[in-house]
Amino acid sequence: MKITFHGAAQNVTGSKHLIETEDGFRLLLDCGFFQGHRKEAEILNRNFPMDAKSIDAVILSHAHLDHCGLLPLLVKEGYTGSIYATPATMDVAAAMLADATHIQESDAEYLNRHLQKNQVHIAPLYNEADCKATIDRFVGVQYSRLGGGWTKLSDSVRFKFYDAGHILGSAVILVEIKESGKTKTIAFTGDLGRTNAPILWDPEPIVENVDILLSEATYGDRLHEPPAETERLVREIIERAIKHRAKIIVPAFALGRTQELIYVLHKLFHTQGFPKIPVYLDSPLASHVTDIFKKHRNVFDNQTWKDFNASHDLPLMFEDLIYTRTTEESKALNEMHGPLMVISASGMMEAGRILHHLKNGIENPNNTILITGYQAENTLGRRIQDGVSLVRIFNRKYHVKARVVSAHSLSAHADQVELLEYIGAAKGLSTLFLVHGEEQTMQTFASLVRSKFSTISVGIPKRGDVVEI
């Protein structure tokens, strides 16, 4: 068989790996957006690297756009097969893809309205019809432990899902391939979560032998703070906001971090004597995704039911959690006095309603800006996180006087120790390919794996690399 690494190879976006068997079956794992430098990402996204019509099946690990964002382009270019995903991933991906489609269409419309002479008309990468056609191709397969079992794709290829513990519905894909009378297994982690993170199961160990593992290594050179640290940090921030009647402004990542934070808040507010403050979820996408979480409570972990079972509470609902839907409701928050928390997109503070909340609250030293996720270079979020004192928002300069706090414990990715444990638990593993990580991080991690597990060969493929196995 051959594996071609079409994306998330020595970087963290554009996840796409193609497996071709001896008998000609072509299986695509993930079909994600490239993100990052705008021009470069645009070129990579517009030039689909394979013939969509020649693919026989697609399996999706999870619903983050860097893993699923190019599925509508695949369908637009002629893919007519099924897209397999867990039921929760199907629902979340539908919401994420609809949102991405809307952004693409409105971006193209904006750019076309401001075209210079001689510039050509810009078409969105895909439109609503492509998005709908993609969602229609989804086929739900439950985690193996919940009864999903093996799904047969051809006489020689079948697969099953293990829980990856990264976001709602995220899966590790185990593919079994029969070739020349031999059976081989390939596991693909997608993105791997943390142990003991709120709501989700820990990444599940694979029962079968794993001959080849494609593992993410985003934080292969780092250790995170334990998830329990989030509770301590949030408690301290809320107490400070109450004392100063101040605001806590949380730039939100719609999927994952927002729901974990809501869970932690609910747990704290649930504690006898802990002071409650109103929490406004001011992001329609995050609100929608939170509703999807409620629908898939069967994939929550045991700890969630220990935390909330007693009172039959729903983990992601509490009295003081208020969804704002309209722009007017969002604007009204600016006039309100603290203590209150507002969770609003976008996570890296580049666009969206969060800019209005920052504009309004960034110069008040009693307010807190709580950063919950990775801030890419050259974003407003990164500048604020790095401690610059003057920032530009909507063409006006503002002094950053609010306290800025980063919650490193809220990461959705396994750290170095957790990755090593996962790799160590894979039985019979002989070949490891590191994908989804920055090159330097993966080199560091590869050396560590080689020193710990001498029998495992470790590769770090580049985009476009093909390996024969």
Catalog residues that contact Zn ion under the rule CB under 5 A.
Answer: 64, 191
Q: Which residues of 274-291 are buried (b: 16+ CB within 10 A; e: fewer)?
A: eeebebbbbbbbbbbbbe
Instruction: Describe the crossing of helices 284-295 and 87-113 by its angle, rounded to 10 degrees.
Output: 170
CB of 427 to Zn ion, least distance (A): 25
Task: For the CB of residue 94, give the shortest distance to Zn ion in the complex, in Å.
Answer: 17
Question: For residues 19 and 192, which CB has a smaller minimum distance to Zn ion in the complex?
Answer: 192
Q: Which is nearer to Zn ion, 20 or 30 (CB)?
A: 30
Per DSSP (E only), the strands in 87-149 are 138-140
Q: Which is nearer to Zn ion, 281 or 412 (CB)?
A: 412
What is the nearest approach in angstroms of Zn ion to the Cβ of residue 35?
12
Rounded to a whole number of angstroms, the minimum distance from the CB of residue 166 to Zn ion is 6
Residues in the chain: 469
Q: Which is nearer to Zn ion, 20 or 191 (CB)?
A: 191
- Give me the residues paired with residue 279 across strands: 321, 341
The Cα 127–Cα 88 span in angstroms is: 23
Quote the least distance from Cβ 451 to Zn ion, whole Å: 28
- Minimum CB distance to Zn ion smaller for 66 or for 307: 66
Q: Look up residue 192 and give its two tokens.
A: 């791997």
71: alpha, beta or left, given left = phi > 0 and alpha = psi -120 to 50? alpha
Which lies closer to Zn ion via its Cβ, residue 92 or residue 234?
A: 92
Least separation in angstroms between CB 59 and Zn ion: 15
Residue 86 CB neighbour total at 10 angstroms? 28
Q: Cβ of residue 78: shortest distance to Zn ion, in angstroms?
A: 27
Question: Residue 251 CB, nearest distance to Zn ion (Å)?
Answer: 18
Match 């909507």 to its residue by tokens: 394
Backbone angles phi and psi of 89, in degrees to 5: -60, -40
Q: Which is nearer to Zn ion, 158 or 296 (CB)?
A: 296
**Identity of the residue, 167 or 249, whose beta carbon is nearer to Zn ion in the bound complex:** 167
Contact 259, 199 (CB under 8 A): yes
254, exposed or middle or buried, with CB in 10 Å at 0-12, 13-18, 19+?
buried
**In DSSP terms, which residues pair with 323 in a beta bridge?**
281
Residue number with CB closer to Zn ion (64 or 383) = 64
Compute φ and ψ for 218, nearest 5 degrees.
-50, -45
Helix runs in 137-253, H state only? 228-244
Backbone region of residue 190 per phi and psi (left: phi > 0; alpha: psi in -120 to 50; beta: other values): left
CB of 192 to Zn ion, least distance (A): 9
Q: CA 245: distance to chain centroid?
A: 33
Question: Smallest Cα–Cα separation from 138: which of 176, 100, 93, 104?
Answer: 93
Nearest to 453 by CA among 465, 464, 427: 427
Question: Least distance in Å: CB of 437 to Zn ion?
Answer: 12
Of 64 and 257, CB closest to Zn ion: 64
Instruction: Name which of 35 and 430 has its Cβ closer to Zn ion.
Output: 35
Long-range contacts at 224-228 (CB < 8 A, ≥ 24 apart)? 224/194, 224/408, 224/409, 224/411, 224/415, 225/408, 225/409, 226/196, 226/409, 227/194, 227/196, 227/197, 227/198, 227/409, 227/410, 228/196, 228/409
Shortest Å distance, C-beta 170 to Zn ion:
7
3-state secondary structure 236-305: HHHHHHHHHCCEEEEECCCCCHHHHHHHHHHHHHHCCCCCCCCEEEECHHHHHHHHHHHHCHHHECHHHH
Closer CB to Zn ion, 91 or 211, in the complex: 91
Sign of CA dihedral 20, 23, 24, 27: negative
Q: Scanning the structure block, which residue is given the tokens 């638990």?
A: 425
Smallest distance from Zn ion to CB 374, Å? 11
